């Protein structure tokens, strides 16, 4: 008789781990969720329907994948741990709409792989419990890709979610907030306590919902230069914008004159700190720096 228990039920999770002789790898940030209600809530938050294709990163033993497969048109999951490929083939054997790729998602041509995996041209959403140690690179890989991801609903460390969702003038606001908010609208949907994981992590998680903007939040003449500027502004957190810009771009007279002129034209006081500048102000400053750029830059 078929076992009707969901994978995330603690007793079922333990059985699966025991059956396959699995020990969890701390180096891969493996923490398995053992609370089915939270998985239901994630799928609900993501509004997963038969009219959506889903990408998952780090499916583990398939607890979230199971829920996604029940609701989505297709699911494409990337798993880096070779030991889990066999486990997933076992736990998800009843689902014909799931493709598991034993690949590092960061080394993947997302457009090519999704073209191969998805039969129908439906909206794509990323729904995943991301490993803490590599959250930011994975998110930026999707955001900077030409793959048309409509939404990302990801479980990440609560503190990181707060940084991504932060507003100017707050302690959490920084270059990561800007990098994500440039592309996406951000919202923390709900908090996931550390107690519902095996093994239990040291911190709580949050479900972060990112919705693709029709166009970037601000218009910049050079995206690469814009992101270099925003990183520079937070290089030394306690320093002024002026000190940070010199630290990154240089202190020679020509560079200082270029920075000073750009700041004046953007009407930004160089004694302010980076965390007080809005995306619009950073965009304005970046555009002025591009307009005034000297040959040495």
- Nearest alpha-carbon partner for 263 in 224, 232, 235, 296: 232
31 is in an annotated binding site: yes
250 is in an annotated binding site: no
33 is in an annotated binding site: yes
71 is in an annotated binding site: no
Residues 6 or more apart in contact with residue 100 via CB below 8 angstroms? 59, 77, 79, 85, 88, 89, 92
Positive or negative torsion for Cα 90, 91, 97, 101: negative
Please list, residue by residue across 103-133, b when 16 or more beta carbons sit within 10 angstroms of its beta carbon and e when fewer do.
eebeebebeebbeebbeeebebbbbbbbbbe
> ∠238-243-245 over CA atoms, to 5°?
115
- Which residue bears the tokens 């980076």? 274
Q: Which segments within 130-260 are labelled E, that is strand?
A: 149-157, 184-192, 197-198, 205-212
Known binding residues for S-adenosyl-L-methionine: 31, 33, 58, 79, 104, 129
Annotated binding-site residue numbers: 31, 33, 58, 79, 104, 129
């Amino acid at each position: 008789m078929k076992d009707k228990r969901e994978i995330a039920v603690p007793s079922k999770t333990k059985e699966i781990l025991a059956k396959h002789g699995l020990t969890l790898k701390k180096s891969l940030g493996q923490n398995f969720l053992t609370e089915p209600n939270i998985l239901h809530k994630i799928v609900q938050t993501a509004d997963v329907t038969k009219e959506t294709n889903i990408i998952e990163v780090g499916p583990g033993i398939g607890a979230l994948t199971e829920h996604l497969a029940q609701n989505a048109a297709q699911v494409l999951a990337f798993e880096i741990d070779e030991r889990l490929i066999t486990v997933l083939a076992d736990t998800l054997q009843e689902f014909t709409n799931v493709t598991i790729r034993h690949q590092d998602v960061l080394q993947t041509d997302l457009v090519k792989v999704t073209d191969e995996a998805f039969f129908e041209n439906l909206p794509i959403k990323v729904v995943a419990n991301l490993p803490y140690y590599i959250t930011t690179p994975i998110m930026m890989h999707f955001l900077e890709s030409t793959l048309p991801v409509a939404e990302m609903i990801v479980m990440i460390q609560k503190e990181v979610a707060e940084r991504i969702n932060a507003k100017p003038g707050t302690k959490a606001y920084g270059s990561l907030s800007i990098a994500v908010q440039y592309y996406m609208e951000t919202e923390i949907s709900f908090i996931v306590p550390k107690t519902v994981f095996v093994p239990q992590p040291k911190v709580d998680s949050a479900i972060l919902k990112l919705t693709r903007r029709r166009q970037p939040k601000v218009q910049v003449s050079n995206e690469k230069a814009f992101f270099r500027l925003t990183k520079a502004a937070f290089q030394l957190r306690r320093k002024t914008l002026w000190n940070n810009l010199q630290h990154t771009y240089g202190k020679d007279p020509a560079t200082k004159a270029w920075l000073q002129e750009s700041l004046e034209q953007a009407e930004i006081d160089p004694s302010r700190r980076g965390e007080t500048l809005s995306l619009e102000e950073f965009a304005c400053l970046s555009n002025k720096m591009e307009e005034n750029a000297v040959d040495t830059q």
